[in-house]
Amino acid sequence: MIEVYRAREADAEAIGLVHASSWQAAYAPFFDEDFAAEQIASRLDRWHQRVADGDGLIMVGAVDDRVLAFSWSLSSVERPGLAEILSFYGHPDGWGTGVVATLMDETLRQLRADGFEQVHLWTLRDTPQSRRFYTKTGFTETGATRPRDFGNGEPLAQLEYELAELTY
């Protein structure tokens, strides 16, 4: 059974595990082994404080009580008036289960309930799985690009996607 809800402090460790596992599967191949290992480890415990502080909208998707996906959204700094999905990750064990799509639907519903009419996000250009997912869920490319340096001095290209009207 899929369940989606606002993250609780007790979910922080599971969110970190989802983030690290998803990042390892999707992003680690872009980096040298040592840097990738550092980045994966750093994702394991960064969520405790964010969840405790109520830093933005953090939602989780669980299957049979196991957290397998999460999203983190804030009011956009770059595009005032829009929400921005800063993190949207699914554990590889949850790919294909429907939990990620259900989480996106519920995240968008909650952003709409919070007063947002539009939402945008950035994703790596060279991650076709995430790009297909965002397109499938109604997002379109804006044509905007930017470099994203994860801290190793070798920026990767990101593309912006937006959902021009939240109808949830």
Which residues pair with residue 72 across a beta bridge?
58, 87
Whole-angstrom Cα distance, residue 89 to residue 106? 14
| Domain boundaries of the chain, sorted by first residue | 2-163
Long-range contacts: 25-34, Cβ < 8 Å, 24+?
Answer: 25/92, 26/127, 26/129, 26/130, 27/124, 27/127, 27/150, 30/124, 30/126, 30/156, 31/150, 31/152, 31/154, 32/152
Q: Output the pTM of the full model.
A: 0.94
**2-163 CATH pick, 3.40.630.30, 3.80.10.10, 3.40.1170.10, 3.30.70.141:** 3.40.630.30
Beta pairing, strands 119-124 & 83-90: parallel
What is residue 164's predicted lDDT score, i.e. its pLDDT? 84
What is residue 168's predicted lDDT score, i.e. its pLDDT? 61
Whole-angstrom Cα distance, residue 91 to residue 25? 9
Q: Which residue has the tokens 């379109």?
A: 140
Task: Give tens-digit pLDDT for 3-34.
Answer: 999 999 999 999 999 999 999 999 999 999 99
Phi, psi of 20 (to 5 degrees): -65, -45
- From the list 86, 53, 52, 82, the residue with the least C-alpha distance to 70 is 86
Beta pairing, strands 156-163 & 2-6: unpaired
Walk along the chain (168 residues) and give the pLDDT tens digit of each residue: 999 999 999 999 999 999 999 999 999 999 999 999 999 999 998 999 999 999 899 999 999 999 999 999 999 999 999 999 999 999 999 999 999 999 999 999 999 999 999 999 999 999 999 999 999 999 999 999 999 999 999 999 999 999 988 876
Beta pairing, strands 83-90 & 66-75: antiparallel
